[in-house]
């Protein structure tokens, strides 16, 4: 079972929920992987404190032009939708950071002047945090495109029966990539106008992806009633409500898991996990679980 | 014309609340919400929309079922796993190919190589942008469509709109609310800006993410400074953050204390500084003074 923890708004407690869930699942004897898909700003390691075992560089293909074979016909720039390759005078410019790695230019080049080379975009790092299998991606600073790296994080986290994916904030391509192929999406929000606005966007996104979802309302005693009303009106199951607890905030500020700092929270997250397990029916072979050769 | 961009690396550190207060304190400026896939600033500034336009950035492939003969070239060439052999039959073949619109990257390779010309490759509307009026000045903002990509391009449009507003109205300052992370929309938000203000919080995540976002501003050579929000939640970590920031050559522009009125102001669609003049509002006033002095 693959559970994606996402949120729309940042800072609502995704990482807190994801790390604690992985922790209690492992304590309960389940084989579990925590996968940090927030490759722009991965934070799960600050709480689960893994022992690293392997670090692998992730690349994506970009074109390389052999100018001795190039006839400057311009077909490469014609097929490229991303303005990543352009003949200029007697040379061909490649804008690597704009390239999506579709391979179109190489296919279309009539003289075979284009081959592909690997461009590093980040790393996938694996280890163990006690009984929890730990995987994370770290995007190189300055690299704009994270989805191909997120995809590699997902491929590296298929060893256990249960995988908790910690998604990035927002609702655009990095989140879509993180959430795609999950069996269930857990949306973590806070009951404020910003939290609710972004929750609605995240709910629409999850619906567009035809995935089942549930809600966690964090700091549920702050803000107003509107988030609960919205969930009820839209029949979104609220799977947990976590209070604004100073002990948890302090534990967070020390890099300690809520369950470890305040043992009473172990039960809270065990209950959440049990509800998740009941709500999430593993989907039959979803398209995203099939073969894929994303660059 | 000066562009001050507020980003954070980590989400939920108070970027948007700080930005709204700075907009109020500035008297009048152009406001740009560049967090296009989870925009919130409009909830505080209640913009009156004057102009709205659809945003068309990329194209997307769609298989015209009547034409597909299931040759499978599209599936073979697609590197994004966007083509699946589960489309409806069409009289010619029992099953056709189908493009998963969420996975389609818009590269057009499938359409280019379909010998039957069975793939439509047409521009798609992937969001909307707006020009509005607010009580703090004109505002450029946008909404990325659900599950759409191209947020970087939409951010660039919002910034262009904001610059034009500043020129037309003779306003010297553009205040930009950015998005969390360090990826494409953030890069599009900060390139060429005058100054970046990184709003962080005194937690290990706040510190960790600040370091990555500071590396990003250095990578692009943009002057940057920090402000620790909710600093009194952990004074030690705040010290560490300010120390590390200074080591990296970042200017420390101020601290804002933890204040429950941040949330209360949000619920009333107000900036904190419109609700109070003590506590965090005082801190925000000092922050604004430092920033405006630095921008002068």
Percent of chain A residues past pLDDT 70, beyond the cut: 95
Asked if B222 has any chain A CB less than 8 Å from its own CB, the reply is no
How much is the pLDDT for A274?
95
CB pair distance less than 8 Å for A208 and B102 = yes
CB neighbourhood size of B183 (10 A): 26
Asked if A288 has any chain B CB less than 8 Å from its own CB, the reply is yes
Asked if B156 has any chain A CB less than 8 Å from its own CB, the reply is no
Query: pLDDT tens across A161-179, in order?
Result: 999 999 999 999 999 999 9
Query: pLDDT tens across B164-217, in order?
Result: 999 999 999 999 999 999 999 999 999 999 999 999 999 999 999 999 999 999
**Partner-chain residue, chosen from B12, B185, B212, that has the shortest CB–CB distance to A11:** B12
Question: What are the respective helix, strand and coil percentages of chain A, to the nearest 5?
Answer: 35, 25, 40
Average pLDDT over residues B247-254: 95
Q: Could you tell me the pTM of the whole model? A: 0.94
Assess whether pLDDT exceeds 60 at residue B96.
yes
Distance from CA of A144 to the nearest CA of B (A): 4
Average pLDDT over residues A233-252: 93
How many whole angstroms separate alpha carbon A111 and alpha carbon A165? 44
Assess whether pLDDT exceeds 90 at residue B267.
yes
CB pair distance less than 8 Å for A104 and B234 = no
Distance from CA of B41 to the nearest CA of A (A): 9
Asked if A260 has any chain B CB less than 8 Å from its own CB, the reply is no
Q: Which of B183, B221, B231, B234 to mutate to test the interface with A (most CBs of A within 10 A)?
A: B183
Asked if B237 has any chain A CB less than 8 Å from its own CB, the reply is yes
At A152, which helix (H) or strand (E)? helix A147-155
How much is the pLDDT for B149?
81
How much is the pLDDT for A281?
64
CB neighbourhood size of A238 (10 A): 16
Assess whether pLDDT exceeds 70 at residue B155.
yes
Which residues in chain B have their CB less than 8 angstroms from residue A7's CB? 11
**Partner-chain residue, chosen from B103, B201, B263, that has the shortest CB–CB distance to A222:** B263
How much is the pLDDT for A292?
43
Asked if A46 has any chain B CB less than 8 Å from its own CB, the reply is yes
**Partner-chain residue, chosen from B107, B146, B185, that has the shortest CB–CB distance to A208:** B146
Assess whether pLDDT exceeds 60 at residue A129.
yes
Asked if A141 has any chain B CB less than 8 Å from its own CB, the reply is yes
- Going by pLDDT thresholds of 50, 70 and 90, the confidence category of residue B146 is confident
Distance from CA of A205 to the nearest CA of B (A): 6
CA-nearest residue to A210 within chain B is: B102
Which residues in chain B have their CB less than 8 angstroms from residue A208's CB? 102, 146-147
- For A280, the token pair is 């999430």
- One-character DSSP codes across chain A: -EEEEE-BSTTSSHHHHHHHHHHHHHHTT--EEEEE---SS--THHHH-PEEEEEEEEEEEEEEE-TTT-----HHHHH-SSS-EEEETTEEEE-GGG-----HHHHH-TT--EEEEEEEEEEEEEEEETTEEEEEEEEPTT----HHHHHHHHHT--SSSEEEEEPPSBSSHHHHHHHTT-SEEEEEE-SSHHHHHHHHHHHHHHHHTT--EEEEEETTTSS-SHHHHHHHHTT--EEEEE---HHHHHHHHHT--HHHHSTHHHHHHHHHHHHHHHH-PPPSS-GGGS-----
Query: pLDDT tens across A48-71, in order?
Result: 999 999 999 999 999 999 999 999
How much is the pLDDT for A282?
54
Asked if B72 has any chain A CB less than 8 Å from its own CB, the reply is no
Average pLDDT over residues B20-43: 96
- For B239, the token pair is 């010290």
How many whole angstroms separate alpha carbon B215 and alpha carbon B63? 43
A270 burial via Cβ count (<10 Å: 0-12, 13-18, 19+): middle
Average pLDDT over residues A247-261: 92
Q: Give how far Cα A102 sits from Cα of A76, A171, A233, B275, Å.
A: 12, 23, 43, 52
- One-character DSSP codes across A44-72: THHHH-PEEEEEEEEEEEEEEE-TTT---
Assess whether pLDDT exceeds 90 at residue B79.
yes
Q: Give how far Cα B16 sits from Cα of A220, B2, B45, B283, Å.
A: 21, 19, 11, 16
CB pair distance less than 8 Å for A209 and B10 = no
CB neighbourhood size of B202 (10 A): 25
How many whole angstroms separate alpha carbon B273 and alpha carbon B21? 6
CB pair distance less than 8 Å for B37 and A170 = yes
> Based on C-alpha coordinates, what's the Rg of chain B?
23
CB neighbourhood size of A235 (10 A): 6
CB pair distance less than 8 Å for B263 and A253 = no
How many whole angstroms separate alpha carbon B26 and alpha carbon B6? 14
Assess whether pLDDT exceeds 50 at residue B250.
yes
How much is the pLDDT for B26?
96
Q: How many Cα atoms are found within 13 Å in the side-chain-facing hemisphere of A115?
A: 6
How many whole angstroms separate alpha carbon A258 and alpha carbon A63? 47
How many whole angstroms separate alpha carbon B208 and alpha carbon B203? 9
At B289, which helix (H) or strand (E)? helix B280-295
Is residue B201 within 8 A of residue B230, CB to CB? The reply is yes
The residue that leads in pLDDT, A289 or B92, is: B92
- For B182, the token pair is 């360090």
How much is the pLDDT for A291?
41
How much is the pLDDT for A286?
44
DSSP A221: T
Asked if B204 has any chain A CB less than 8 Å from its own CB, the reply is yes
CA-nearest residue to B98 within chain A is: A287
Asked if A205 has any chain B CB less than 8 Å from its own CB, the reply is yes
Average pLDDT over residues B23-48: 96
Query: So what's the ipTM on this one?
Result: 0.94
Average pLDDT over residues B237-247: 96
Judged by CB atoms within 8 Å, which residues 154-173 of A form the interface with B? 168-173
Judged by CB atoms within 8 Å, which residues 11-50 of B form the interface with A? 11-13, 16, 37-38, 40, 43
Which residues in chain B have their CB less than 8 angstroms from residue A10's CB? 8, 10-13, 38, 180
Handedness of CA A45, A46, A47, A53 (dihedral sign): positive
Note the maximum CA span of chain B. Answer: 74
Average pLDDT over residues A278-288: 57
Average pLDDT, chain A: 93
Q: Which of A138, A169, A146 is nearest to B10 (CA)?
A: A169
DSSP A109: -
Asked if B112 has any chain A CB less than 8 Å from its own CB, the reply is yes
Distance from CA of B199 to the nearest CA of A (A): 13
- Going by pLDDT thresholds of 50, 70 and 90, the confidence category of residue A280 is confident
Which residue in the block uniquely carries the two structure tokens 């509005």?
B132
Phi/psi class of residue B288: alpha, beta or left (left: φ > 0; alpha: ψ in -120 to 50)? Answer: alpha
């Amino acid at each position: 079972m693959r559970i994606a923890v996402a949120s729309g708004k940042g800072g609502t407690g995704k990482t807190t929920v994801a790390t604690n869930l992985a922790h209690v699942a492992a304590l309960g004897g389940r084989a579990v992987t925590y996968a940090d898909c927030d490759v722009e700003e991965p934070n799960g390691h600050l709480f689960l404190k893994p022992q690293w075992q392997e670090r692998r560089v992730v690349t994506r293909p970009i074109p390389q032009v052999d100018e001795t074979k190039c006839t400057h016909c311009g077909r490469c720039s014609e097929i490229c939708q991303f303005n990543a390759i352009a003949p200029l005078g007697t040379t061909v410019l490649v804008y690597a950071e704009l390239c999506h790695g579709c391979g179109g230019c190489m296919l279309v080049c009539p003289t075979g002047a284009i081959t592909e080379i690997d461009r590093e975009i980040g790393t996938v790092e694996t280890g163990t945090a006690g009984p929890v299998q730990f995987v994370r991606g770290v995007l190189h600073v300055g690299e704009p495109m994270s989805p191909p790296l997120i995809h590699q994080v997902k491929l590296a986290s298929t060893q256990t029966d249960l995988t908790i994916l910690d998604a990035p904030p927002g609702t655009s391509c990095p989140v879509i990539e993180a959430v795609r192929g999950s069996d269930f999406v857990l949306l973590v929000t806070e009951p404020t106008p910003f939290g609710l606005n972004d929750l609605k966007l995240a709910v629409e996104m999850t619906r567009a992806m035809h995935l089942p979802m549930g809600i966690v309302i964090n700091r549920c005693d702050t803000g107003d009633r509107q988030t609960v009303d919205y969930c009820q009106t839209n029949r979104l199951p609220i799977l947990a409500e976590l209070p604004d607890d100073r002990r948890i905030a302090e534990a967070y500020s020390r890099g300690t898991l809520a369950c470890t700092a305040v043992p009473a929270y172990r039960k809270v997250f065990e209950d959440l996990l049990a509800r998740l397990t009941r709500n999430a029916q593993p989907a039959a072979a979803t398209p995203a679980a099939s073969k894929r050769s994303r660059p | 014309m000066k562009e001050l961009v507020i980003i954070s690396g980590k989400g939920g550190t108070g970027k948007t609340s700080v930005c709204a207060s700075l907009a109020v304190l500035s008297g009048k400026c152009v406001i740009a919400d560049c967090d296009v896939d989870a925009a919130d600033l409009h909830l505080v500034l209640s913009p009156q929309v004057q102009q709205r336009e659809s945003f068309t950035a990329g194209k997307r492939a769609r298989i015209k079922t009547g034409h597909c003969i299931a040759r499978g070239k599209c599936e073979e060439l697609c590197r994004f796993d966007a083509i699946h052999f589960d489309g409806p039959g069409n009289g010619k073949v029992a099953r056709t190919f189908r493009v998963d619109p969420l996975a389609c990257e818009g590269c057009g390779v499938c359409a280019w190589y379909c010998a039957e010309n069975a793939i439509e490759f047409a521009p798609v509307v992937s969001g909307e942008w707006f020009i509005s009026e607010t009580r703090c000045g004109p505002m450029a903002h946008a909404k990325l469509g659900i599950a759409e990509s191209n947020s970087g391009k939409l951010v660039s449009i919002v910034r262009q709109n904001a610059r034009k507003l500043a020129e037309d109205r003779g306003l010297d300052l553009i205040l930009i609310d950015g998005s969390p992370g360090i990826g494409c929309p953030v890069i599009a938000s900060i390139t060429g800006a005058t100054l970046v203000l990184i709003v962080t919080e005194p937690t290990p995540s706040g510190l960790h993410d600040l370091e990555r976002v500071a590396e990003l501003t250095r990578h692009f050579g943009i002057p940057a400074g920090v402000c620790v929000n909710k600093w009194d939640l952990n004074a030690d970590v705040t010290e560490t953050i300010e120390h590390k920031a200074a080591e990296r050559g970042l200017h420390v522009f101020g601290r804002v204390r933890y204040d429950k009125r941040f949330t209360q102001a949000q619920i009333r669609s107000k900036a904190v500084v419109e609700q109070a003049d003590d506590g965090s509002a005082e801190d925000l006033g000092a922050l604004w003074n430092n920033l405006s002095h630095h921008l002068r």
